[in-house]
Amino acid sequence: MRGRALLASAFLLRQWPLLALAVTLGASAASMLRPRPTILVLVVLAIAAGLEICYIAAIRTPWVSVTVAAVAAAGLLTPILAVPSLAGLRGGRVGSAGPPTVTIAVPLVMIIAWLIGHSIRQAQARTELRRAQAAAQAAMAERLRIARELHDIVAHSIGIIAIQAGAGRRVFEASPDEARDALAAIETSSRETLSGLRRMVTGLRRAEPEPVHGQVPLGPAPGLADVDQLVATALDAGVRVEVDVDWPGSREPLPADIDLSAFRIIQEAVTNVIRHARTDQCRVSISQQDEQLSIEVTDSGCGGAAAGTGYGITGMRERATLLGGDFSAGPRPGGGFRVTARLPLREPVR
């Protein structure tokens, strides 16, 4: 009977742990009332109840598991202490006039089982907390990445559009050809911005790799190969950009994240020159040496506050930092403004 009760308790434990413990305690009470129960029976039942208490403490709240452990200890001890014929199971005493040893041993087994189960529950809770924190950090990093991309795409294009619109308005009547060129530049910048936003939204929505029939395929993310187009856009806005490239040996493709971040840093720096420097020229230097990509954008305009609190400089610094690089921005001693970034290359460029 005891064997069948323990087997039934084992089957019930996973889905109905409280019922499984009740079966074990019922088997314990029934065994104690049978003729000549042995101490071995008590040990087996105490171990079975302890395992069930351990499991309950691992999956239930502490107040539930503590209550269940106390009930289990009482359920095992009550027959032993209350039934006169079970005096033989009470064993010796703790000390000469102390309580029976069984009254210490059974609660101690329950306490140890509860502590083990509770520690397992705490370890699981810590694991879940770390997993939730990692997911929250990943979500925050993704939101920051999207915010940087949106800022870089929109701020640059809107700045160009605003300058071209102002220039077109001023010469609309006096020089229709120049106004027409300004409108063409606005159209080009708008289309490029729309393409970049569409590419970003498509990536966020995890679109199918194959384009829908009749839909124009989306281009790749920008990189240093698009600097010439950036130069042309800046020239349309009235700023001549001189690009100096120092790239020893053959020019191998950069890792995608470094290529994109390098272009975005240059784009934001040139956009700041167009919008704030009040100058008609700037210089972009790109060099690769010692497994490091160096970028410097300088102008001779009116300069500005170092670092600043704008999203542009903050975004450039974050891009460099995420790649393990260095970034600085501030006024030049002789006037103007300088932006520098150094991005380590994970793989040597040969």
For 145-159, write each residue's pLDDT tens digit.
777 777 776 766 777
What token pair was written down for 51?
Answer: 């395992």
Sign of the alpha-carbon dihedral angle for 98, 103, 109, 113: negative
- Mean pLDDT score, 181-193: 77
CB 29 within 8 A of CB 1: no
For 260-317, write each residue's pLDDT tens digit.
889 989 998 998 898 888 888 999 999 988 788 999 999 988 866 554 456 678 888 8
Amino acid at 293: L
Residues in CB range of 109: below 8 A, 6 or more apart: 46, 47, 49, 50
pLDDT at 31: 65
The pTM of the full predicted model, rounded to 2 decimals, is 0.48
Helix axes 102-171, 39-59, angle to 10 degrees: 10
**pLDDT band for position 97 (50/70/90)?**
low
What token pair was written down for 29?
Answer: 């009470």
- What one-character DSSP code corresponds to residue 93? B
What are the φ/ψ torsions at residue 142 (nearest 5 degrees)?
-70, -40
CB 320 within 8 A of CB 329: no
pLDDT at 99: 59
> Is it the case that residue 216 has pLDDT exceeding 60?
no
CA distance 197 to 150: 8
39 vs 70, 94, 216, 319, CA distance in Å?
21, 17, 82, 71
* More confident position, 270 or 206: 270
What token pair was written down for 271?
Answer: 């956009």
Longest dimension (CA), the chain: 118
CB 312 within 8 A of CB 271: yes
For the domain covering 239-350, report its CATH number. 3.30.565.10
In three-state secondary structure terms, 296 is: strand
CB 54 within 8 A of CB 113: yes
Q: List helix spans (H) across the chain.
A: 2-13, 17-33, 39-59, 62-82, 102-171, 176-204, 227-236, 256-272, 311-322
Please name every residue paired with 64 in a beta bridge, in sequence order, or none if there are none.
none
DSSP readout, 236-287? HTT-EEEEEEE--S--PPPPHHHHHHHHHHHHHHHHHIIIII--SEEEEEEE
pLDDT at 284: 95
Give the range among 103-107, 193-197, 322-326, 332-336 with minimum mean pLDDT: 193-197
Residue closest to 46 by CA, chosen among 107, 119, 94: 107
Q: Residue 175's Cα: distance from chain center in Å?
A: 54
Task: Decide the pairing of beta strands 292-299 and 281-289.
Answer: antiparallel
For 28-74, write each residue's pLDDT tens digit.
777 666 656 566 767 777 788 888 889 888 888 888 888 888 888 88
What token pair was written down for 10?
Answer: 């084992």
Please name every residue paired with 327 in a beta bridge, in sequence order, or none if there are none.
341
> Is it the case that residue 192 has pLDDT exceeding 90?
no
User: Residues for the chain: how many in total?
Assistant: 350
Burial label for 50, CB within 10 Å (0-12, 13-18, 19+), is buried
Q: What are the sequence ranges of the domains in the chain?
A: 2-133, 239-350
The angle formed by the CA atoms of residues 190, 194 and 200, to the nearest 5 degrees, is: 145
Q: How many CB atoms lie within 10 A of CB 164?
A: 24
